[in-house]
Structure 1
Amino acid sequence: MSAQQNSPRTTTAQRPPGRSLMWPAVAVGLGALLVYNSFETSADPKPQSRPPAAAASATPGPTLPHSAPTRLSIPEIAVDAPFTPLAIEESGQLAAPPADDNNLVGWFEEGASPGERGASIVAGHVDTKTGPAVFFQLSTLKRGSTVDIAREDGTVATFKVDSVETFSKANFPNDRVYADTPSAELRLITCGGEYDRKAKDYADNVVVFAHLASSKDA
């Protein structure tokens, strides 16, 4: 992905007439995940300090042991997609899901796995040069919507959406999105807002905040 989000562990923009949109991308700086939106421009993010740990809750929610995710299902917006692991490259950026696959989501594998204690980071493209992609309708989710993630250990973790928010990339709240959490939480991230043709980037990021509500055997 080469789009911009900001910091860890892509809402539909106006399309420029006669042009294909660039893809979202993710970069990491000192433990902070940054999503950039243009494959044609190099990102040069300023170093960011690691966000402060969230205050411990008196009653943490349920958690699961570590296990890599295998498939993401959000029937409400017709999402049924496999996962690919995302890792930090030598450039300091987090490798993006393949740009030629519009039905694939990426998971930052050095962070918490979905269902494990902490904030698990999942990123996906909003569109590709050929059309809408896996997170094209992510911004339409509502509080109470559910997200299912199948895991390698045979369990399916069900997350309930707490909020869906849009943030300017220029003022991305790293501490809210990437801070450690005492319970199992999920962040679904894609690009959003207006598309800047000159910068070849979206102005915003859409972030879905969700928590683990239950789990079951597949």
Structure 2
Amino acid sequence: MPSRTPHRFRRTAALLTAAAACLALAGCSSSESSSATPATPSASSGRDGAASGPGEPAGPAGSARPSRTREADRPGPVHVSIPSIGVRSTLMELGLNADGTVEVPPAEKGMTAGWYTGGSLPGTPGPAVLIGHNDTRFGRAVFHDLKDIREGAEVLVRDGAGTTLRFTVTGKETVSKKAFPTRRVYGPTKGSTLRLITCDGEFDAEGHPVDNLIVYGALA
């Protein structure tokens, strides 16, 4: 029998392998970041990482930008809203920094969430990952109240063609960035799923939040 591995499986395996090596690189700090300029326009910065980072996993090894899980020329997501906690935000595209970690929105755009283009496209099989700050040096940010979201809450994601997808929250957890659940967040799923990620918890000696808050959702 042929032993050919499906393209999507190979891509996911590469993503998980690369990610596992970079989980300790937290993207949240209380001072301006001194990291190298990212390979894409939306640079990560300041306290901020504040806000977010999925534990900053890397994309597929050897790629300057992550590849997208797309179907034909289907448009990417441009807006997210969570009515139960008052979130309404446009979505910027997030890729990889020069060091292979995942970008977060710049501190000055703390009220804007981002879609990680190395994950799945909302509405297609697999996890779509949205990242947002909890707060930044400029104050509270888009996912500040994400901790208050409840199971069963609705998350609406609209794409560039005007189609709105409805996801339902299935659970949430707070995890140490040193033990980020890479496979649970980025691993393949049969249906279209959603992950919302921000920073959480106490600050360490350098001013970095030590935890991530992860919210899980599924297409309704």
TM-score calculated relative to the size of structure 1:
0.71
Matched, 1:147 2:151: no
Per-residue CA deviation, residues 155-184 of structure 1 (Å, 9 max, x unaligned), is 100000000111111211111111011100
For residue 37 of structure 1, what is the aligned residue in structure 2? 28
**Matching residue's letter, 1:127:** D
Select 1:189's aligned residue among 187, 197, 201: 197
- Structure 2 regions of 5+ residues with no counterpart? 1-10, 37-54, 61-70
Considering Cα pairs closer than 8 Å and 6+ residues apart, tell me whether 1 or 2 has the greater RCO.
1
For residue 60 of structure 1, what is the aligned residue in structure 2? none
Instruction: State the identity as a percent.
Output: 36
| SS of alignment partner, residue 109 of structure 2 | coil
CA distance 1:91–1:202, shift in 2 (3 Å): same
Provide the aligned length of Structure 1 versus Structure 2. Answer: 173
Counterpart-to-counterpart distance in 1, 2:56 and 2:197: 20
> In the alignment, is the contact (CA less than 8 A) between 2:153 and 2:169 conserved in 1?
yes
Counterpart-to-counterpart distance in 2, 1:192 and 1:46: 14
Runs ≥4 residues deviating over 3 A = 31-35, 39-43, 45-50
| SS of alignment partner, residue 154 of structure 1 | coil
Counterpart-to-counterpart distance in 1, 2:142 and 2:109: 9
RMSD of the alignment, in Å?
2.9
Matched, 1:164 2:166: no
Matched, 1:199 2:217: no
> In the alignment, is the contact (CA less than 8 A) between 1:146 and 1:160 conserved in 2?
yes
1:46 CA drift (Å): 11
> In the alignment, is the contact (CA less than 8 A) between 1:82 and 1:103 conserved in 2?
no
CA distance 1:182–1:103, shift in 2 (3 Å): same
Per-residue CA deviation, residues 62-110 of structure 1 (Å, 9 max, x unaligned), is xx88430111111111111001001113221223212102210111113
| SS of alignment partner, residue 88 of structure 1 | coil
| SS of alignment partner, residue 36 of structure 1 | coil
**Matching residue's letter, 2:18:** L
| SS of alignment partner, residue 75 of structure 2 | coil
CA distance 1:203–1:31, shift in 2 (3 Å): closer
**Matching residue's letter, 2:212:** N
Counterpart-to-counterpart distance in 2, 1:70 and 1:167: 28
Counterpart-to-counterpart distance in 2, 1:48 and 1:75: 31
For residue 139 of structure 2, what is the aligned residue in structure 1? 131
> In the alignment, is the contact (CA less than 8 A) between 2:133 and 2:141 conserved in 1?
yes
> In the alignment, is the contact (CA less than 8 A) between 2:168 and 2:218 conserved in 1?
yes
- Structure 1 regions of 5+ residues with no counterpart? 1-7, 10-27, 51-63, 214-218
TM-score calculated relative to the size of structure 2:
0.70
For residue 5 of structure 2, what is the aligned residue in structure 1? none
1:31 CA drift (Å): 4.4
